[in-house]
């Protein structure tokens, strides 16, 4: 099996991109990544996307995007694993290169969730849940997360403001990310006054509905020197790639406050990379909701059960903390174009590891981790990258 | 790169399965394939599906199906490439085994297109076309194929009954396939009297809207002996796997009557397998419409341009002909549950190569080919299997 490296990254700004169609947003990210790697074509495009069928009346999306990017003829497939689609596409791109099927692969993530005339985005997002046993009863995706947060507060006797630090940290980091959707800092006072969406989740606990695309170029590590000459950004190696799943429905889990798939995929990733949690210099966490940050930190081994919320302070998760998270704003502030998020996380880890994260650059950045979550924890992929 | 073999196959009957939910249909095929390979779990499930978001309000489908099959925890991802989704999933499963990421992979294909309350299946199928430049104008998927057929008849001066032989052959072979949707033979007279759907396409040119699922178990060829002991069906090796794309919109192609992606993927496949067209003993063709059979045979090198229709006779494509096609009924008679079709084709090639095709067993079956087409030829995958 060949080792795989990333030699180019690209991203579109995240936001309500009403003047750009889905294919244009994808092309913005892909052509930027291709320019950075100095390539004119590739063997394949694997495109993470969740909602194009439901919201855009467009399937066959990867071939469409390849065609629009001037790559007509190359292999193309869309990869779907709800909000974990981006990292699932990365993992499949990695297999294509590791196996020798391809020497150059483009992995993209794309979602267009706004300006979708006549479509219901909230209903679209609920397709990540079990249609027959969860969505049927009218529970929305934010509703499922609200139940988890409520249970967490009850079970561990945690006050509502315990979660504020995750939101404050993400917004603080988003200020300096030119591609972030929300570039305003928020305070504890803002958090406590924020409108509630689904008790106890308020608007500052939640990532936004938005549009965006990100892309990376994968090559065998042994070919890296062909791509990085003369370019400012060095290559980054994928040290570990692991995927695990859980029951789709939250009610079917023995313990809904334990993300078994985060535990399984992170443990596999640590073993593959030959590292422990202490070696992780930064962690791009899947902070779709603040409760998910707490649960992910616990199941990934950074905090004990019921104590993930205690990490929500600047001296721990801030850029100068012991474990910086959401360093470019995370899903909360950079935004959460669902099928693209997993690829944005990888792009941001690459920025940190190559010293190109601008004002948000952390000092020690040798090993970075990204965790991408589909549904309420049913599909979880963990990747570890090394400079 | 490890060689990859198939050690188990499974399929559900194809039809309007109103008493089975999508997950049940998938489980029928997957558990049958697992029983045949005598396995209790696997490293991953890659599931080809096109329309679950549009028609079932269910994404995150692969994790849902893994969970329902008792495989909670394993890696899972849905693969989408319109009607080419099944073969795209097979190809990704093959990469996962070839690379060493997994030692046992389940590849499934699943589609539920009927009994979808309040949904428009015709609109769903049109999501395979370009939403902004084709579907926007109101053209349906059958409409696009009708334009191709009309052009073919004009360009090559071919009468309407030239295509009948494809339909007659498929229906004749479907009679003996217990999983086929239509098990009645048809005659030239039936064809000429068949109701027209979109001129010149009639109902006997067209594959049906239906439900179904199929599955195969992939392992490294070097492990085959662990799985086949005591089982009636031998293993089959995947000799070649190739994918290619074209413009999504038909009008953007230089020559709409030439399936460039079929040409590219079949040529790649012949090279990989070290064979020529003369070595292919049977060909599971993507006969979604009779015009697609003619175009596929031409671009894959079995007929000259404009002469694919001349093959539509029993002495050529029949079970005792020089190139048997659609040997278990094809998309036309077995049925075309779109995202599952590519896996059904592989299952049927395995049946022929292992001498388990029953009444439809062809005599010489050493090398079989399957071609799965997404959209109007925009994504085409060609696989070659050997006994």
User: Which tens digit of pLDDT belongs to each residue from A297-344?
Assistant: 999 999 999 999 999 999 999 999 999 999 999 999 999 999 999 999
Which candidate in A102, A171, A286, A336 is catalytic?
A336
Q: Please tell me the distance in Å from A347's CA to the nearest CA on chain B.
A: 21
Q: Please answer yes or no on whether B21 and A77 come within 8 Å at the CB atom.
A: no
Q: Are strands B105-111 and B212-220 parallel, antiparallel or unpaired?
A: antiparallel
User: Rounded mean pLDDT of A145-152?
Assistant: 98
Tens of pLDDT along A250-302? 999 999 999 999 999 999 999 999 999 999 999 999 999 999 999 999 999 99
Task: Name chain B contacts of A244, Cβ cutoff 8 Å.
Answer: 73-75
pLDDT at A231 over 60: no
The b/e string for B299-308 (b: 16+ C-beta within 10 A; e otherwise) is: bbbbbeeeeb
User: Rounded mean pLDDT of A190-217?
Assistant: 98
Q: Please tell me the distance in Å from A111's CA to the nearest CA on chain B.
A: 14
Residue B15: CB atoms within 10 Å = 19
CA atoms of B254 and B251, how far apart (whole Å): 8
Task: Name chain A contacts of B92, Cβ cutoff 8 Å.
Answer: 77, 92, 95
Contact B60, A248 (CB under 8 A): yes
Q: Please answer yes or no on whether A129 and B60 come within 8 Å at the CB atom.
A: yes
Q: How confident is the model at residue A251, as a pLDDT? A: 96
Among B54, B63, B374, beta carbon nearest to A54: B54
Q: How confident is the model at residue B325, as a pLDDT? A: 98
Q: Please tell me the distance in Å from A68's CA to the nearest CA on chain B.
A: 8
Q: Please answer yes or no on whether A82 and B88 come within 8 Å at the CB atom.
A: no
Task: Name chain A contacts of B53, Cβ cutoff 8 Å.
Answer: 50-51, 53-54, 59, 80, 124, 127
Task: Name chain A contacts of B88, Cβ cutoff 8 Å.
Answer: 77
B241 to chain A: nearest residue by CA?
A101
CA atoms of A247 and B63, how far apart (whole Å): 8
Among B92, B100, B261, beta carbon nearest to A92: B92
Q: Which one of B64, B96, B375 would you mutate to disrupt binding with A, by most A Cβ within 10 Å of its Cβ? A: B64
Query: CB-based contacts of A353: which residues, under 8 Å, 6+ apart?
Result: A236, A365, A366, A367, A368, A385, A386, A387
Q: Please answer yes or no on whether A244 and B74 come within 8 Å at the CB atom.
A: yes
Q: CA of B214: how far to CAs of A213, A319, A339, B8, B242, in Å?
A: 33, 49, 27, 11, 20
Task: Name chain A contacts of B81, Cβ cutoff 8 Å.
Answer: 60, 62-63, 76-78
Query: CB-based contacts of A100: which residues, under 8 Å, 6+ apart?
Result: A2, B1, B98, B99
Portion of chain A with pLDDT greater than 90, in percent = 97
Task: Name chain B contacts of A379, Cβ cutoff 8 Å.
Answer: 60, 63, 76-77
Q: Which one of A65, A126, A141, A245 would you mutate to disrupt binding with B, by most B Cβ within 10 Å of its Cβ? A: A245
| Mean of the per-residue pLDDT values of chain A | 97
Q: Please answer yes or no on whether B60 and A128 come within 8 Å at the CB atom.
A: yes
Q: Are strands B44-48 and B105-111 parallel, antiparallel or unpaired?
A: parallel
3-class DSSP state of B275 = coil
Q: How confident is the model at residue B232, as a pLDDT? A: 63
pLDDT band at A234; cut points 50, 70, 90? confident
User: Rounded mean pLDDT of A72-81?
Assistant: 98
- Cis ω before B200 (30° cut-off from 0): yes
A243 to chain B: nearest residue by CA?
B75
Q: Please tell me the distance in Å from A119's CA to the nearest CA on chain B.
A: 11
Task: Name chain B contacts of A72, Cβ cutoff 8 Å.
Answer: 245-247
Q: Which one of B63, B75, B105 would you mutate to disrupt binding with A, by most A Cβ within 10 Å of its Cβ? A: B63
B378 to chain A: nearest residue by CA?
A63
| Token pair recorded at residue B44 | 């991953």
Q: Please answer yes or no on whether B57 and A260 come within 8 Å at the CB atom.
A: no
Among B80, B135, B248, beta carbon nearest to A77: B80
Q: Please answer yes or no on whether A67 and B247 come within 8 Å at the CB atom.
A: yes
ipTM over cut 0.90: yes
Beta strands in chain B (DSSP E): 4-11, 44-48, 75-80, 105-111, 196-198, 201-202, 212-220, 236-245, 282-284, 367-374, 379-386
CA atoms of B321 and B364, how far apart (whole Å): 11
Q: Annotated active-site positions of B, please?
A: 83, 336
Helix, strand, coil percentages, rounded to 5, for chain B: 40, 20, 40
Q: How confident is the model at residue A230, as a pLDDT? A: 54
Q: Which one of A64, A251, A253 would you mutate to disrupt binding with B, by most B Cβ within 10 Å of its Cβ? A: A64
Max Cα–Cα distance, chain A, nearest Å = 57
Q: How many CB pairs under 8 A join A and B?
A: 208
Residue given tokens 């849905």 in the structure block? B78
Task: Name chain A contacts of B269, Cβ cutoff 8 Å.
Answer: none
Query: CB-based contacts of A243: which residues, under 8 Å, 6+ apart?
Result: A87, A88, A91, A265, A379, A380, A381, A382, B44, B75, B76, B77
Task: Please work out, in degrees rounded to the nearest 5, the angle formed at the alpha carbon of residue A217 by the alpha carbons of A212 and A223.
Answer: 170
Q: Please answer yes or no on whether A374 and B246 come within 8 Å at the CB atom.
A: no
Q: Please answer yes or no on whether B57 and A126 come within 8 Å at the CB atom.
A: yes
B260 to chain A: nearest residue by CA?
A73
B22 to chain A: nearest residue by CA?
A132
Q: Please answer yes or no on whether A59 and B127 come within 8 Å at the CB atom.
A: yes
Q: How confident is the model at residue B229, as a pLDDT? A: 60
For chain B of 387 residues, list the mean pLDDT of each consecutive stretch of 10. Answer: 97 98 98 96 98 97 98 98 98 98 98 94 95 94 97 97 98 98 98 98 98 98 84 86 98 97 98 98 98 98 98 98 98 98 98 97 98 98 96
Q: Please answer yes or no on whether A127 and B53 come within 8 Å at the CB atom.
A: yes
Q: Please answer yes or no on whether B72 and A247 come within 8 Å at the CB atom.
A: yes
Q: Please answer yes or no on whether A66 and B96 come within 8 Å at the CB atom.
A: no
User: Rounded mean pLDDT of A102-129?
Assistant: 96
Q: How confident is the model at residue A316, as a pLDDT? A: 98
CA atoms of B188 and B167, how far apart (whole Å): 9
Among A78, A92, A95, beta carbon nearest to B81: A78
């Amino acid at each position: 099996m060949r080792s795989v490296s990333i030699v180019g990254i690209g991203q579109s700004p995240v936001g309500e991109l009403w003047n750009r169609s889905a294919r244009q947003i994808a092309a913005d990210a892909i052509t930027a990544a291709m320019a950075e790697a100095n390539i004119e074509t590739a063997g394949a495009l694997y495109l993470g996307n969740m909602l194009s069928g439901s919201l855009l009346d467009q399937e066959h999306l990867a071939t469409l995007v390849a065609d629009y990017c001037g790559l007509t003829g190359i292999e193309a497939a869309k990869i779907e694993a709800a909000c974990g689609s981006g990292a699932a596409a990365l993992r499949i791109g990695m297999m294509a290169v590791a196996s020798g099927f391809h020497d150059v692969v483009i992995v993209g993530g794309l979602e267009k969730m706004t300006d979708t005339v006549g479509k219901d985005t909230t209903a679209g997002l609920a397709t990540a849940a079990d249609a027959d046993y969860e969505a049927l009863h009218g529970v929305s995706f934010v509703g499922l997360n609200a139940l988890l947060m409520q249970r967490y507060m009850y079970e561990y006797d945690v006050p509502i403001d315990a979660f504020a630090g995750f939101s404050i940290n993400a917004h603080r980091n988003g200020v300096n990310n030119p591609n972030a959707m929300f570039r305003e800092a928020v305070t504890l006072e803002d958090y406590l006054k924020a409108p509630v969406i689904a008790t106890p989740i308020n608007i500052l606990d939640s990532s936004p509905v938005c549009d965006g695309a990100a892309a990376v170029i994968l090559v065998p590590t042994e070919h890296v020197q062909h791509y990085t000459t003369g370019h400012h950004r060095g290559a980054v190696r994928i040290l570990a790639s692991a995927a695990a799943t859980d029951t789709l429905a939250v009610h079917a889990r023995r313990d809904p406050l334990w993300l078994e798939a985060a535990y399984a995929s992170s443990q596999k990733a640590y073993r593959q990379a030959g590292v422990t949690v202490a070696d992780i210099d930064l962690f791009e966490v899947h902070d779709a909701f603040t409760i998910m940050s707490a649960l992910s930190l616990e199941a990934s081994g950074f905090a004990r059960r019921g104590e993930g919320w205690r990490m929500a302070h600047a001296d721990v998760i801030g850029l100068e903390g012991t474990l910086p998270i959401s360093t470019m704003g995370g899903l909360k502030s950079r935004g959460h174009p669902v099928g693209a998020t997993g690829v944005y996380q990888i792009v941001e880890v690459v920025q940190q590891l190559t010293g190109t994260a601008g004002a948000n650059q952390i000092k020690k950045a040798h090993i970075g981790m990204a965790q991408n979550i589909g549904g309420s924890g049913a599909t979880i992929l963990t990747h570890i990258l090394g400079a």
